[in-house]
Structure 1
Amino acid sequence: MWDKIEHNGQEVWVLPVTAYGPPVPETLWHYIGYVCRHGADAHLAGQSRRFQQLVATFHSEEEAREAGYEEGRRLADQTDAATA
């Protein structure tokens, strides 16, 4: 499921995804996500910044989610710096 945090007035959405098919005891994870302003329609071009990590793997769903949040916060900070 998608999870969301708020950072510097923006929403950071992250979805951990399994690296190689259905979950098994040693499942590795990736993540996909996007950053947008509150109330934005993330499906419209220019309303969100999408990101993903499909090369590095994480050893748990939570580890992938936290890595995604970290990347999303970094992008949100870059967006704030660019508009300041």
Structure 2
Amino acid sequence: MNKIKIVAKNLFENIKYIIKQKKSIKELYNPIIQQKNEENKKLKKNLKYLKEENSKIQIEIKHLETENQNLEKKISILENILINECFYKN
């Protein structure tokens, strides 16, 4: 019976030590985890900003493509006018 008490006491001491070590580890890594969380928040904010900027750029690209198509149509019309002018003059 005495040996059981000694084993139980040692087990209890080991559990207390493990809990203490766990708290120490948690206290050690907590600032690192907080720092990583802050970095993650900043990265998410930057990602959101970049997505918004990308959207704006995509809209501008579409606008420029439309403008380019309109200019190509005008160039084509002017080319046809020039060809007609040259054809009718000869």
Task: Kindly indicate which of the two structures has a greater share of residues assigned to strand.
Answer: 1
Larger Rg: 2
Return the TM-score normalized by structure 2.
0.28
Compare relative contact order (CA 8 Å, sep 6+) and give the higher one, 1 or 2. Answer: 1
Return the TM-score normalized by structure 1.
0.30
